Amino acid sequence: MALVTFDVRAHAEGDEGGEYVLGARQTGSHACYMIYGTLKPGERGRVIKPGAGHEEIVLAARGNIEVTGAMTGTLRQGAAFHIAGNDVCRLENRGTSEAVYVVAGGHSGDGHSH
């Protein structure tokens, strides 16, 4: 079988407004999804909210990202945090260059709703 790839960076930088969700629409699977997002210098307010029946791991792939809400602190480049259910956090880039984050998510043991 040939390797099938998805250019998530190009989509996020293109017409997707800085964030791209790779999920069921592209893969045909509801088991998991991935979000690739960028934050311009000074950009804030990007919401992270898995929703009922979902869990996510958020990774700062490039740059440090400030996290506020259900959890508060600095997410340093290369570090990640876990968030579940209806908890809500906001991401902010206080740096002087673009930050990149990746969110890996899926359904928790509690089931899911769409």
Predicted pLDDT at 16: 57
Alpha-carbon gap, residue 111 to 53, rounded angstroms: 5
Collapsed DSSP state (helix, strand, coil) of residue 83: strand
**Structural domain contains residue 81:** yes
**Structural domain contains residue 112:** no
CATH, residue 65:
2.60.120.10
**Structural domain contains residue 1:** no
**Structural domain contains residue 3:** no
Q: Summarize pLDDT for 26-53 with one digit per residue, the tens.
A: 888 889 999 999 999 999 879 999 999 9
Handedness of CA 102, 107, 112, 114 (dihedral sign): positive
Counted domains in the chain:
1
**Structural domain contains residue 114:** no
Q: Which domain holds residue 16?
A: 8-107
Q: Return the ∠ at Cα 51 (arms to 108 and 114), rounded to 5°.
A: 85
**Structural domain contains residue 113:** no
0.85 exceeded by the pTM?
A: yes
